[in-house]
Amino acid sequence: MTIAVLDPPAPAAARRRHRLLDPTGWQTAAGNLLPGTVMFAAASLLLLVGALPVVRPALVHTGLAIAFAAIAGAWSLRRPLAGAGALAVPVAHLAAIALLYAGSAAPTILFLLVSPLWTLSTHAGRRGVPVAVAGTAVVLALPQLIGAHLPGTATMPGALLLGPLVVAVGGAAINVGTRRNADQARDIARLQREQAALLAQVRSRADELDTASRILAARAQTMTSVIDAVTEQSIIGTDRDGTIRVWNPGAEKMLGVPRPEVVRTRSILDFHVPEELASAAEANGSASGLDALVHAARERGSDVRDWTYVAADGRHRTVSVAITPRSDDRGTHAGWNFVGTDMTEVRATERMKDQFVSLISHELRTPLSSILGYLELVMDDEDAPLTDEQRQYLSTVERNAQRLLRLVGDLLFTAQVESGRFTLQPAAVDLAGVVRAAEETARVAAAAAGVQLVVDVPDDGLVVDGDAVRLGQACDNLVSNAVKFTPAGGRVELVLRPAWRTPDGEVTGSPAPDAAPVALLSVADTGMGIPAGEQGQMFTRFFRTSNAQRNAVPGVGLGLTITKAITTAHGGTLDLVSTEGVGTTFTMTLPVPA
């Protein structure tokens, strides 16, 4: 048995109990000694009272002395002697009996033989039986040897032979039986120990199981209560075939069907619009509606998108559904989770906002078209040239009309970015040219503000994949911001360099392993700087720094939002470093095609 491997150390109490029950223990020792002790005591008494004759007192006294010395010695050890030592007491007793028999000449005394012969016959080894036979022979022969006269001597030669023979046969039989018993007892003891160990093990397993199931039950309870607490989101769990298994109060509220009516009986597909699933199936090449529904989640591990749910009353809800695969405890795919947020009102509001922004920008552009068109006609009319003064006034009108137009464009563009309808027209764009153009655009304003503009771009250009118009707009925004926020006498530096961006976002000036080549544009000014607490909000729509407001710097807070959106759409980054009173540096990186 391999029980020892599994057997945990027995507790101290059990170990103590084991030692007391041990057949080689103190009780066994006492059990072995007691009959001999009693019998020799009885013999002493019989000799003392004269029931047995004392023929040769010296032999009798020596015999009793040896017998009790052996008993006393054995009792004093308080434990059974092992091996050859175990033979010491019975051998001493045999010697004592021999002396007593010779000294008393009474065959009755031979009853004492029972004790040592029993002890020798039941001795664990095989040596006991020959020792018993030899001892018996000595006991029976001693009176003959010392010439003592014993009654019934005529029978003695026969007894001398018969006695040891009987002892030999009987002793051998007892010895075999004893040893078998001892083996059995050992087996039983071992089996008992193993059984106890197994029992302990089973008990500890049962305890573990009990604890585990209580933890599981507590967890399940926690999960259920959490899921039940969600009333504004639908949490629906299904089998792999779409049969609903989990339906939380949020789903009840959103779809108007109580849990008992759907769990195990309805499919998730019952709450979808078949046409929407069919067109999704066509788009992603799925065979069934369910496949179409979970296609992206199966491919990428999770998927969030808008789906239309059909409530019990037939109303359609636009729901942003997060779909994830669900696994059972063995990690096998068991079904799908659908966590949905009702976006019907939100999407309607977004649509309205989009429409509103489009309408407003259209309505604003139309009069601006007239203003700018007719201004152009007046200013370019060769038949009726303008005076310098008139030309200057109309230039102011035109500049402001252009400014209004840019603002309308920015608003519309921001709305497009927000609604995700912002697309790029990518082509190879030389950023050096874009930067030079931005400098040209800002040159007049910079000169007027007394700000020095410095451009440092590679002579052979730096080409990226991008939308030239949008990149120009982003660059213009950065440069015009830098000029606007720099007081007279300051300086704005536009530097364009090839650089490398590592996967963890670090930008270096030299190639590094795994680093991707990028174009690095930095626009550094010596302006008023941005307070540290406001730097995180710089790319937020309509955010204006306290410095901008205090210094009445014109703007509405859209430029950086747009610049950031354009950079992000190009797969680039836009960061800033600023110290109040020292200046600000915006750093833009754009991926360079390999």
Partner 1 sequence: MHSAPPSPGDRPAGADPAGPTRVLVADDEDDIRQLVSLAVRKAGCQVIASAPDGTAALTAARAELPDLAVLDVSMPGATGLEICAALREDPATAGIRILLLSAGASPDEVARGLSAGADAYLAKPFTVVGLVEQVRALASREAVA
CA distance 556 to 441: 20
Least distance from partner 1 to the Cβ atom of residue 400, Å: 14
**Helices 128-146 and 156-229 sit at what angle, rounded to 10 degrees?**
150
**Rama region for 236: left / alpha / beta (φ>0; ψ in -120 to 50; rest):** beta
String of DSSP letters for 498-536: EEEE-TTS-EESS--TTPEEEEEEEEEE-S----GGGGG
CA distance 350 to 414: 13
CA distance 148 to 251: 115
User: Which is closer to partner 1, CB of 140 or CB of 357?
Assistant: 357
CA distance 327 to 463: 48
Helices (H), 105-154: 114-121, 128-146
Number of CB atoms found within 10 A of residue 15's CB: 10
Query: Which residue has tokens 């470093």?
Result: 577
Nearest to 131 by CA among 111, 115, 116, 110: 116
Strands 516-525, 583-591: pairing is antiparallel
Question: Would you say 522 and 495 are in contact if contact means Cβ atoms under 8 Å apart?
Answer: yes
- Point out which span in 101-109, 220-228, 362-370, 563-571 binds partner 1 (CB under 8 A): 362-370
Candidate list 32, 104, 233, 361; residue touching partner 1; CB under 8 A: 361
* 383 lines the binding site for partner 1 (CB under 8 A): no
Question: Would you say 86 and 126 are in contact if contact means Cβ atoms under 8 Å apart?
Answer: no
Candidate list 108, 204, 369, 452; residue touching partner 1; CB under 8 A: 369
Q: How many residues bind partner 1 (CB under 8 A)?
A: 19
Taking CB under 8 A as the criterion, which residues in 108-167 touch partner 1? Answer: none
Q: Which two tokens stand for residue 278?
A: 């069919």
- Point out which span in 179-187, 366-374, 432-440, 489-497 binds partner 1 (CB under 8 A): 366-374
Least distance from partner 1 to the Cβ atom of residue 409, Å: 8
User: Which is closer to partner 1, CB of 423 or CB of 540?
Assistant: 423
* 377 lines the binding site for partner 1 (CB under 8 A): yes
Q: What is the CA radius of gyration of the chain?
A: 55
User: Which is closer to partner 1, CB of 439 or CB of 467?
Assistant: 467
Both ends of the chain: CA-CA distance in Å?
69
Candidate list 328, 329, 380, 504; residue touching partner 1; CB under 8 A: 380
Least distance from partner 1 to the Cβ atom of residue 378, Å: 10
Candidate list 79, 180, 190, 362; residue touching partner 1; CB under 8 A: 362
CA distance 27 to 229: 69
* DSSP single-letter state for residue 267: B
Least distance from partner 1 to the Cβ atom of residue 306, Å: 20
Taking CB under 8 A as the criterion, which residues in 330-359 touch partner 1? Answer: 358
* 396 lines the binding site for partner 1 (CB under 8 A): no
Question: Would you say 291 and 268 are in contact if contact means Cβ atoms under 8 Å apart?
Answer: no
User: Which is closer to partner 1, CB of 72 or CB of 352?
Assistant: 352
- Point out which span in 20-28, 202-210, 360-368, 475-483 binds partner 1 (CB under 8 A): 360-368
* 395 lines the binding site for partner 1 (CB under 8 A): no
CA distance 497 to 592: 11
* 329 lines the binding site for partner 1 (CB under 8 A): no
Least distance from partner 1 to the Cβ atom of residue 515, Å: 33
User: Which is closer to partner 1, CB of 317 or CB of 470?
Assistant: 470
- Point out which span in 174-182, 290-298, 312-320, 374-382 binds partner 1 (CB under 8 A): 374-382
Least distance from partner 1 to the Cβ atom of residue 216, Å: 54
* 366 lines the binding site for partner 1 (CB under 8 A): yes
User: Which is closer to partner 1, CB of 187 or CB of 376?
Assistant: 376
Question: Would you say 66 and 104 are in contact if contact means Cβ atoms under 8 Å apart?
Answer: no
- Sort 451 into a burial class: Cβ within 10 Å, 0-12 / 13-18 / 19+: buried
Least distance from partner 1 to the Cβ atom of residue 475, Å: 19
* DSSP single-letter state for residue 382: S
User: Which is closer to partner 1, CB of 253 or CB of 365?
Assistant: 365
* 372 lines the binding site for partner 1 (CB under 8 A): yes
Candidate list 296, 310, 405, 576; residue touching partner 1; CB under 8 A: 405
Nearest to 405 by CA among 439, 369, 441: 369
Least distance from partner 1 to the Cβ atom of residue 422, Å: 8
* 318 lines the binding site for partner 1 (CB under 8 A): no
* 5 lines the binding site for partner 1 (CB under 8 A): no
User: Which is closer to partner 1, CB of 38 or CB of 359?
Assistant: 359
User: Which is closer to partner 1, CB of 55 or CB of 401?
Assistant: 401
Taking CB under 8 A as the criterion, which residues in 406-445 touch partner 1? Answer: 416, 421, 423, 425
* 205 lines the binding site for partner 1 (CB under 8 A): no
Nearest to 462 by CA among 493, 433, 424: 433
Strands 316-327, 463-466: pairing is unpaired
Residues that bind partner 1 (CB under 8 A): 358, 361-362, 365-366, 368-370, 372-374, 376-377, 380, 405, 416, 421, 423, 425
